[in-house]
Amino acid sequence: MYYLLAYDISDNKTRRLAVKLCKKAGLVRIQRSVFAGASQPWHIQTIRDELAPLLDAKTDSLTIQPLDKTAYGQLSFTGKKWNKKDIAREHSILFF
């Protein structure tokens, strides 16, 4: 499954944790507070479970949007170029 995850977190420590969890889940940073990519649902649930109690309900937010392959394929990037295959890990890697 593909995911698009965005957050607005005021606390630096919580924000650093969000970045760490997103990277651990295999998501790739596409903007300062936006990550996307292929991941397992349990990774995404872990992000939600660990961050939810730390978010300030008045100032912080976490948005997680699951995307099927069709919806992911329709994502559009304008400006800084991103390779969707790199984000989705759809390419083959050879090690020598």
pLDDT digits (tens, 9 = 90+) for 50-75: 999 999 999 999 999 999 989 888 88
Look up the CATH number of the domain holding residue 72.
3.30.70.240
Residue 94 lies in a domain: no
Q: Which helix (H) or strand (E) holds 17?
A: helix 12-24
> CA end-to-end span of the chain, whole Å?
29
pLDDT of 92 reads 43
DSSP for 32-75, written as a single string: TTEEEEE--HHHHHHHHHHHGGGS-TTT-EEEEEEE-HHHHHT-
Residue 52 lies in a domain: yes
The stretch 33-42 carries a mean pLDDT of 95
Residue 93 lies in a domain: no
pLDDT of 82 reads 65
pLDDT of 86 reads 62
- Would you say 41 and 1 are in contact if contact means Cβ atoms under 8 Å apart? yes
Note down the domain range covering 33. Answer: 2-88
Q: How many domains does the chain have?
A: 1
The stretch 36-48 carries a mean pLDDT of 96
Residue 96 lies in a domain: no
Residue 49 lies in a domain: yes
Residue 95 lies in a domain: no
Confidence (pTM): 0.82
